[in-house]
Amino acid sequence: MDADPKGIDRIHATVCAVIFGANETLLKIKLNNGYQFQKMSLIPSVDNLDKIFDTSAMGLRREYETARIDDSLNVVCAFKEMSFYNDSQQLDEIFSKICDEALSNLDNDIRCIRFVKESPLRFKTLSINIKVGSDNSYLSLIPIGEATATEEISRFNCTDAEVDEINKFVSECKLPLINSLLNHCFVFYDLSYHQPNSLSIVLLFTCLEMLFLENEQAKKERLSKRCALFLHIGQKSRQECYRILSDLYKKRSNFVHDGNNATIDNGDILYLRECVRKSIIKYRNSDLDKKQTIKDLRLEIDQLDYFTKA
Query: Could you tell me if residue 217 is inside a domain?
Result: yes
Mean per-residue pLDDT, 153-170: 97
Residue 2 domain flag = no
pLDDT of residue 238: 96
> Same structural domain for residues 189 and 123?
no
pTM exceeding 0.95: no
1 domain-assigned:
no
Q: Which tens digits make up the pLDDT trace of 233-285?
A: 999 999 999 999 999 999 999 999 999 999 999 999 999 999 999 999 999 99
Section 222-239 average pLDDT:
96
Domains: count for the chain: 2
Looking at residue 3, its pLDDT comes to 45
For residue 3, is it within any domain? no
233 in any annotated domain: yes
Q: What is the chain's mean pLDDT, rounded?
A: 93
- What is the pLDDT at residue 309? 52
Neighbours of 266 (CB within 10 A): 13
Q: What pLDDT does 144 receive? A: 92
Q: Which has the closest alpha carbon to 279: 185, 177, 176, 180? A: 185
- Within this chain, do residues 108 and 40 fall inside the same structural domain, yes or no? yes
CA distance 4 to 2: 6
2 pLDDT band, cuts 50/70/90, is very low
* Residue-level pLDDT at 149: 82
Predicted confidence at residue 89, as pLDDT, reads 63
Taking only the tens place, the pLDDT of each residue in 102-142 is 999 999 999 999 999 999 999 999 999 998 877 778 899 99
Q: End of a domain among 149, 168, 203?
A: 149
For the segment 77-108, what is each residue's pLDDT rounded down to a tens digit?
Answer: 999 999 988 766 677 888 888 999 999 999 99
CA 105/CA 103 separation, integer angstroms: 6
Mark whether 185 and 55 lie in a shared domain: no
Identify whether 54 is part of a domain: yes
Cβ burial, residue 234 (10 Å; 0-12/13-18/19+)? exposed
Domain assignment of residue 155, yes or no: no
- What pLDDT was estimated at residue 7? 58
Look at residue 69 and tell me if it is in a domain: yes
pLDDT at 1: 40
pLDDT, one tens digit per residue, over 7-22 is: 577 889 999 999 999 9
196 and 139 in a common domain: no
Instruction: Give residue 4's pLDDT.
Output: 53
Percent of the chain at pLDDT > 90 equals 81
Does one domain contain both 124 and 182?
no
Residues near 76 by Cβ (< 8 Å), separated by ≥ 6?
18, 19, 22, 24, 26, 27, 37, 38, 39, 40, 67, 69
- Which pLDDT score, from 0 to 100, does residue 5 have? 57
Longest dimension (CA), the chain: 81
Residues 118, 191: one domain? no
- Same domain flag for 188 and 118: no
Segments forming the whole domain that contains residue 71: 9-149
